[in-house]
Amino acid sequence: MSEAGLCTRGLRVRLGGVEVLHGVSLDFATGWTTIVGPNGAGKSTLLRAMAGLLVPSAGEVELAGRVLPRWSARERGRRLAWMSQNGEVTGELTVREVVHLGRLPHLGLFAAPGTDDEAAVDEAIRATGCGAWQHRRLRELSGGERQRVLLARALGAGAPVLLLDEPTTHLDPPHQVAMVRLLRDLGRTHVVVSVLHDLPLALQADRLVVLQDGRVRADGAHDCPALHATLVDAFDGALRIERLGDGARAASGGAGACRYTALPNLEP
Amino acid sequence: MPQADRLRRRRLSLLLALTALCGMLAGLVAGSDGWSWRALSDADAATIVAQIRAPRTLGAWLTGALLGLAGAVAQGLFRNPLADPYLLGSAAGAALAVVLVLAAGVLAGHGIGLATAGLLARIGLVAAAFLGALIGVLLTLALARGAEQTARLLLAGVVVGVVLGAVSDLVTSVAPDALRGKQIFLLGTTGYLGWGSAAVLGAGLALLLPPALRLARALDALTLGEDSARTMGLPLGRVRMVLVGVVALATGLAVSQSGLVAFVGLAAPHLVRRFAPSAHGFNLAASTAMGGTLLLASDVLARTLIAPQELPVGVLTAVLGGGYLLWLLHARSRV
């Protein structure tokens, strides 16, 4: 595991008296990993537990070689940024003010932002393409635009580990593709772990983890045939996975490696 | 910050400063015989102005300011624009304490010792209301097991309000003589504000506004949800406790001096958001000034509308505040 990495060891989480994760052990190093699986598999629960938002009933989460509870809240915030599903947003903050909140782990509640902080905010806004409406209020934006702002807020933290819950929800196809490209780019320098329901997009990640009934069923590279077979099985054969042609690979921003997509299997 | 936002904030700040000044002046010249500029130059009238109207006017602004601050903090803390500063049980606690003190004499005749009744009377209505408000909030915190979970805190506040309200009703049914005093307290009044009250209210505002402003960024973070705020490295538990403390002390001080003045804490942050939407730093400061201005204006109106009679200021704020919120709902439903 890299110095910046994240791992879980025998992670068990109970919600409302029911065990949702049954001893999940995973290592995440630099690269983009996406967690997939049917509804109720425990994907978001795993992500929330890795972010320190849920206390495991057993097992532990390690961030850069130290268990999560041993990090102070601010230190953890500087090393690990979390982006929620696009939930309800209150208040009157502008986009830029929201992205500035990403600097809180660095500044605390009382320090004024310096030039480094402004530069980090500018870069996050540029990377997510929010520049045109950075002075509009978050509540005035569409769901997709908000999603990009929330990602910019996570990026603004400058943390080496990014945990993203459904980052492509509410995005239209051009912005989904832009998001995939951004996550791939980020994967070169960051530990990026996302939960995705959209399987064609999930298959563009470097690595996939298939979660089912709170257990890891498969874990491997996006082009691993065995992983594809498990993925199809986990979704009861409701999809088929096909290799993208050269043209489609180029259109989806595919790099050198073979890329795959998932299609609904409508055959009886 | 966009130029338009900067302009809106400047305009609102200027407007609040001007209306506060005009309100203060009006408060000095408004009396039971109507408006009288002579009050500012006449030596005889100067005593009335200095000893009655000036502290009442200043006290009304400070009471409103505390309620405006408490309302803005409560709405940010609960992530709910309809949150009222009395939600945490302070109003019910203060009302019960006042009823207990008022009923003390009657209760003494029905079994409790004279010494106890005397002690209750010595504590006084003001101190009792303040302590009652704090005890109401502490009960809410105990029931919610701290300030960690917003929904639990809100629910606990509602439960404490209902239970303490029922106890208060029970006491007044045993000692009906306390009912009149309770009614005055529930309607809210600025009529008893003297220089001592103004000093206490001023000191309270000076003590509570700085920590609230210092935690404005935490309220900003909470607008993205509790989980997001927690992952931003905030000591959310401690921040919440301080903010709940600000709400409790601000409402406790306000109700102990002026009774339950309705709607100021709810309407002031709304008005600020309407005229100058902003992050919590400006919102808290402007809501404080807006609350002061609202109560000051209501106080002047309450004194002059049916002079020489006086309207209970709480009735006026309820009518004006309720009317404003109804209009707001109507305006939004047309969008």
Helix (H) or strand (E) run with residue B288 in it: helix B280-304
In this prediction, residue A1 carries a pLDDT of: 46
SS3 content of chain B, % helix, strand, coil (to 5): 80, 0, 20
Report ipTM for this prediction.
0.88
CB contact under 8 A, A104 and B217: yes
CB contact under 8 A, B224 and A84: yes
- Using CB atoms, pick whichever of A77, A89, A135 lies closest to residue B231: A77
- Using CB atoms, pick whichever of B217, B223, B230 lies closest to residue A109: B217
Rounded Cα–Cα distance for residues B110 and B171 (Å) = 12
* Torsion sign (Cα): B95, B96, B98, B103: positive
Chosen from A47, A61, A92, A121 to mutate, greatest number of chain B CBs within 10 A = A92
Q: Is residue B239 within 8 angstroms of chain A, CB to CB?
A: yes
Rounded Cα–Cα distance for residues B244 and B226 (Å) = 16
CB atoms near residue A244 (< 10 Å) = 18
Over pLDDT 90: what percentage of chain B? 47
Q: Is residue B226 within 8 angstroms of chain A, CB to CB?
A: no
Q: Quick one: pLDDT band at residue B115, thresholds 50, 70, 90? A: low
**Residue A37: which residues within 8 A CB-CB, separation 6 or more?**
A43, A210, A211, A212, A217, A234
Q: Helix crossing, B264-275 with B3-29: angle to 10°? A: 140
Q: Which two tokens stand for residue B85?
A: 């500063």
DSSP tag of B78: T
Is pLDDT above 60 for A247?
A: no
From chain A residues 143-172, the ones with a CB under 8 A of any chain B CB are 150, 153, 157
Rounded Cα–Cα distance for residues B148 and A31 (Å) = 35
CB contact under 8 A, B221 and A110: no
Average pLDDT estimate for A185-194: 94
Spell out which residues of chain A touch residue B2, defining contact as CB-CB under 8 Å: 94, 135
Q: Quick one: pLDDT band at residue B15, thresholds 50, 70, 90? A: very high
Is pLDDT above 70 for B234?
A: yes
Nearest to B171 by CA among B245, B240, B100, B242: B100
Rounded Cα–Cα distance for residues A150 and A102 (Å) = 9
From chain B residues 113-152, the ones with a CB under 8 A of any chain A CB are none
Q: Which two tokens stand for residue B191?
A: 């009529």
Q: What distance separates the 2 farthest-apart alpha carbons in chain B? A: 69
Q: Quick one: pLDDT band at residue A87, thresholds 50, 70, 90? A: low
The per-residue pLDDT of chain A, averaged, comes to: 89
Rounded Cα–Cα distance for residues B193 and B299 (Å) = 12
Please return the burial class of A40, using the count of CB atoms within 10 Å of its CB with bins 0-12, 13-18 and 19+: exposed
B242-278 confidence digits (pLDDT tens): 999 999 999 999 988 888 898 999 999 999 998 999 9
What's the CATH code, domain A1-71+166-236?
Answer: 3.40.50.300
Q: How many CA within 13 A on the CB side of residue A225?
A: 0
Spell out which residues of chain B touch residue A120, defining contact as CB-CB under 8 Å: none
Domain limits for position B173: 3-334
CB atoms near residue B215 (< 10 Å) = 25
In this prediction, residue B110 carries a pLDDT of: 54
From chain B residues 54-93, the ones with a CB under 8 A of any chain A CB are 76, 79-81
Spell out which residues of chain B touch residue A89, defining contact as CB-CB under 8 Å: 223-225
- Using CB atoms, pick whichever of B5, B223, B235 lies closest to residue A91: B223
Residue type, B60: A
Q: Which two tokens stand for residue B110?
A: 């029905």
Which of the pair, A40 or A85, is modelled with greater confidence?
A40
Q: Is residue B231 within 8 angstroms of chain A, CB to CB?
A: yes
Domains: count for chain B: 1
CB contact under 8 A, A73 and B234: yes
**Residue B284: which residues within 8 A CB-CB, separation 6 or more?**
B69, B72, B73, B76, B209, B212, B213, B216, B219
Rounded Cα–Cα distance for residues B324 and B273 (Å) = 14
Spell out which residues of chain B touch residue A153, defining contact as CB-CB under 8 Å: 224, 228
Q: Is residue A80 within 8 angstroms of chain B, CB to CB?
A: yes
Q: Is residue B238 within 8 angstroms of chain A, CB to CB?
A: no
Q: Quick one: pLDDT band at residue A8, thresholds 50, 70, 90? A: very high
B18: domain CATH number is: 1.10.3470.10
Q: Is residue A185 within 8 angstroms of chain B, CB to CB?
A: no
Spell out which residues of chain A touch residue B214, defining contact as CB-CB under 8 Å: 109-110
Is pLDDT above 80 for A245?
A: no
In this prediction, residue A226 carries a pLDDT of: 93
**Residue A173: which residues within 8 A CB-CB, separation 6 or more?**
none
Please return the burial class of A114, using the count of CB atoms within 10 Å of its CB with bins 0-12, 13-18 and 19+: exposed
Nearest to A35 by CA among A201, A181, A225: A201
Domain boundaries, chain A: 1-71+166-236, 90-159
Helix (H) or strand (E) run with residue B118 in it: helix B114-143
CB contact under 8 A, B225 and A48: no
Residue type, B135: I
Please return the burial class of B64, using the count of CB atoms within 10 Å of its CB with bins 0-12, 13-18 and 19+: buried
Of the listed ranges A3-7, B49-53, B207-211, the least confidently predicted one is A3-7
Q: Is residue A53 within 8 angstroms of chain B, CB to CB?
A: yes
Is pLDDT above 90 for A172?
A: no
Q: Is residue A95 within 8 angstroms of chain B, CB to CB?
A: no
- Using CB atoms, pick whichever of A81, A82, A93 lies closest to residue B223: A93
CB contact under 8 A, A109 and B214: yes
Q: Is residue A52 within 8 angstroms of chain B, CB to CB?
A: yes
Strand pairing partners for A162?
A: A81, A192
Rounded Cα–Cα distance for residues B291 and B289 (Å) = 5
CB contact under 8 A, B232 and A104: yes
Rounded to the nearest 5 degrees, what angle is found at the Cα of A9, between the Cα atoms of A8 and A15? Answer: 75
* Torsion sign (Cα): B62, B63, B66, B72: negative
Residue type, B278: S
Q: Say what the pTM is.
A: 0.88
- Using CB atoms, pick whichever of A73, A93, A137 lies closest to residue B233: A73
Q: Is residue A85 within 8 angstroms of chain B, CB to CB?
A: no
Nearest to B219 by CA among B246, B192, B243: B243
From chain B residues 283-312, the ones with a CB under 8 A of any chain A CB are 283
**Residue B333: which residues within 8 A CB-CB, separation 6 or more?**
none
Instruction: Respond yes or no on whether the N-terminal peptide bond of residue B269 is cis (omega within 30° of 0).
Output: no
In this prediction, residue A162 carries a pLDDT of: 96
Rounded Cα–Cα distance for residues A126 and B167 (Å) = 59
Q: Quick one: pLDDT band at residue A81, thresholds 50, 70, 90? A: very high
Q: What distance separates the 2 farthest-apart alpha carbons in chain A? A: 62
Chosen from A63, A109, A153 to mutate, greatest number of chain B CBs within 10 A = A109
In this prediction, residue B187 carries a pLDDT of: 86
DSSP per residue over B239-255, as a string? HHHHHHHHHHHHHHHHH
CB contact under 8 A, A93 and B279: yes
